Structure 1
Amino acid sequence: MIFLLLSTKAFSQSFLIESKVDTDSIKVGEQIKYEFSFALDSIESLNFKLQKINLPFEILEEYGFDTILTNNKYRLIKKYSITSFEPGSFPLIAPLNINNQILRTNDSIIINVSNVKVDTVSKKFFDIKNIIAVEKNTEGWWKKYFIVISIGLMVFLLIIIFRQSNWFKDSKEEITPPLEQAIKALKFLELTEKNNKQDYKLYYSKLTEIVKSYYEKEVKVDAIESTTNELLNKLELLKDSGKLDIGKETLNNFKSVLNNADLVKFAKSNPGLHTAVKDKKLVKSILIDTKKAIPKLTEEELLKSEIYQLKLKEENRQKLLKKGLKWFGVFFGISVIGLISIFGLQGTKDFIIGNDTKDLLNKQNWIESSYGAYPINLVTPDVLKRSKSGSGQLFEFQNLDYPVYISVFTKPFSEDEDYQALILNNLKSKKGSNILTQVEEFLTEEGVKSLKFFGSFDYENNEQENVKKEYISLVFSENGGLQVVTFVMDRNNKYASSIYERIEKSIEFKKL
């Protein structure tokens, strides 16, 4: 920091105090660096305080001590930032309190504070806008809930399907044997003294259904559709052929139960509770005796039976999977139709597949940076990388093969520069054709003037496809240089338009 040759001295006992400022002329609100320095033999128990500074000066910031040790002497330097918000010439007086001694300088420093000129000609000023009541926007509040509920229902449906299909169970897990299934079913078959004929008919129907189902599964005989005599004849044939080693007593008991069932179902007889319970016990005995009467399978037959069971189980899984996929397809189709009706076709596509430009717009941390020797500040989704350029400095993000392209070009300012030719030649060098352009004046958020060139052109990408592009170029002449900000995007890309708007609002120039 360069200090002016302005200083004052004060003596009190062993203190020699110097004060100085870095300038004696400022504009309203600008900072002055105000510094005190003095030497001490020891800095133990030092008590230093700046008493109230005289108006219209105000202390903006106080800094810590800088200490220099020279020839066993401590030289202390204390700095302040001060300013004044009133124009005029004022003496700067600041009494000090050092170790409870009030010290004043003999001479004061005169500070000239000048007013800030306001340009009311070239800058546009506008009246303060009235406050307008705006209704709360409740449109679309339910969209996020619709998405969450849809996803939840989809997950629930998948869980139900997989649970029913036993998809995650071991494929070698044994199915409950037919005998156990039959005996378990018998346990749930009950009668009481109050049962009527209809109850007995239902009871015997279930009783015969249990035993016939068992014979179909275990003995492999067509039992359910057979009459009593037909079924008994089939069992006799199996007994005679040696395929079922069933006893005469078991067959007689089975015949007795079937006859009682026929009487109840067709003759509407009432056998009574005692007979019904007895027949239930006989059926259990018949099931057990039949199981014992079935010859044991050979190893080859056991292997075939196991392969058949696995094949059957796999077929059941495939059926359940197809059924699940069918319902999933129906649900997915309904969800897609619902999303299209809410967000439109493009919005639904972006939601399901994704959109790189949307991801770029929603990126959490955009980069704020200054570019070029004649600097321009702006915020972009990612940092612009320096590229080769013959006449100036070029910084770019991506290229025209992407939906979004951003560039900043800076060079020394020239009054003879043809801005439109500069922009058009740049687009042509990037394989742009059929370029249409318009121009208008543009003001940044900070009130900086520029020229805005915008329009469209055709671009042939790496896949030899013709893509319609739109471009905007902002031309500035600030800080002694020329700055050109160019933004190129695919036509009708709403996310890219939002990216440009954010970049445009962030443009600013810091005075050198």
Structure 2
Amino acid sequence: MKNAFYISLLLFSAFVFGQQKRVETSIDTTKNKIGAEFKLTLKTSVDTLSKVKFPNVKNFGALEVIRSYPIDTVKNNDRYELIKRYGLTQFDSGRYVIPSIKVIINNKAFLTDSIAVEVAPVQVDTLKQKMYDIKDVVAVDNPIGNWWKWLLGFLLLVGIAAAVYWYTKKYQKKKIEEEVYKTPIERATILMNSLEQKELWQKGEIKEYYSELTDIARNYIEEAIEIPAMESTTSELITGLKAASMKKKMKITQETIDNLERVLKQADLVKFAKSKPMEFEITEDRNKIQKAIVVLDSAIPVDVPAEEEQLLNEMQRQKQVQIQLAKQRKKRIQIAIAAVGFVITAVLAFFIVTRGFENVKDTILGHETKELLEGEWIKSEYGNPSVIIETPKVLKRIDLKKSLPKEGLALVKEMQSFAYGSFVGDFYLMVSTMKYKQDTQTDLNKAVEVTVQSIESQGAQNMIVKQEDFETPEGVKGVKAYGTFVKLNGLTNTSQKIFYEILLFGQDGGLQQILILHEEGDHYANDIVNRVLSSVELKQLKN
């Protein structure tokens, strides 16, 4: 039994050894950087009749297959050596294991060796390489120019003017028609002639022709005989016409009523059933309508009203006049409103095209820094050693001694601070000067660090600090620090990105400081900062 166990173990070891050696596994490197490629190679040797299938997957363990290379075949006497390569990568640092991979040879599975690899992060030396903030948006010169804006504004003004002209012309035309058409028969006659001049049916617009033709007849009947002809169907209109003729004692022949009814029904077929009458039928229908209007008008009795009726009619006429005057006043008001709206729209369109939408919006709705920039500026002298500076508002004296540590305050002989705005607001400007008790050389770089720490103590987060030399027009040299930080609003739980600039000057044992904060992206504030900093003048200490 013991010998049998050793023999079995030997055979099993030989089997495993043979299986492992059937597919050789290698890799070009076991250490690489994030995102770099590991080249994994699988190699096997088979006879000419063998079938080999390499895996086609997207991942080997935690490593991603970024490329599967074609199989290389090398012939060696009566055998083939097959070489398969894979490109692997990983985008997180750490130690990983490429697991055993199953290769199928003649429908039998053979496992490759597992390999451990290491992915290292990319080292960034922040001491040698400065960190820079995201650049502001830079305006690109437009090779086309701004002519299209002027064209757009011109077309907008033309469109508005055309709309106002069309509305006014339509109203005036209607008013003229009301004045010209003294009686219903005159209106009907003029409209019939106008309809013929349009030659609608000759152009194939038969439906439009019959629609206008019957509208003329219906309008006449409604005005002259006083029945609701426009809202009635053909049957209702004929019934109402017969009743009105009996009531008004109008002598109308049955032929006239039949002709009118036939034309109205023909018009209904044309409008709703797409019927197309012949040319002679259209002419006959037109003549029948014209004759029916003339017959109806001549059949209306002309009675001489009694004195009471005349008075009543006069009162009704006066009432109608008042109604017409009210309508005319309403129309004039509408035209005036439209004209004012046109002028306002035109002016807004002009300024939007020439100055931009944001500028016009800020002008109308108001914008703090825009009002500061365009307001009256003041040039004043602050502190000792004094700083002469031009600002949009007079700076008010503030007390910053309470914010200084006791050990720092003990070194200060005199300190004066002036500011406009609030640190938690959208714009803040401060000028501060101090004199030390002892005559010491001021370290401006250290002063920058202290100022930055002071800003951070007031809630600034993620501060980015850049520093460069600064020189006034008079040649006084100092240090300029600038960058951005994030300010949190505790009430709304929102964050705001703030841009800051600090100027520091050291003179004869004294320190002069200018601090400006504003919302990033505020171009009005950028113009204010440029104007303020370009106006800085410094005076020597007074002993």
TM-score, normalising length: structure 1: 0.47
Relative to total residues, which structure has the larger helix share, 1 or 2? 2
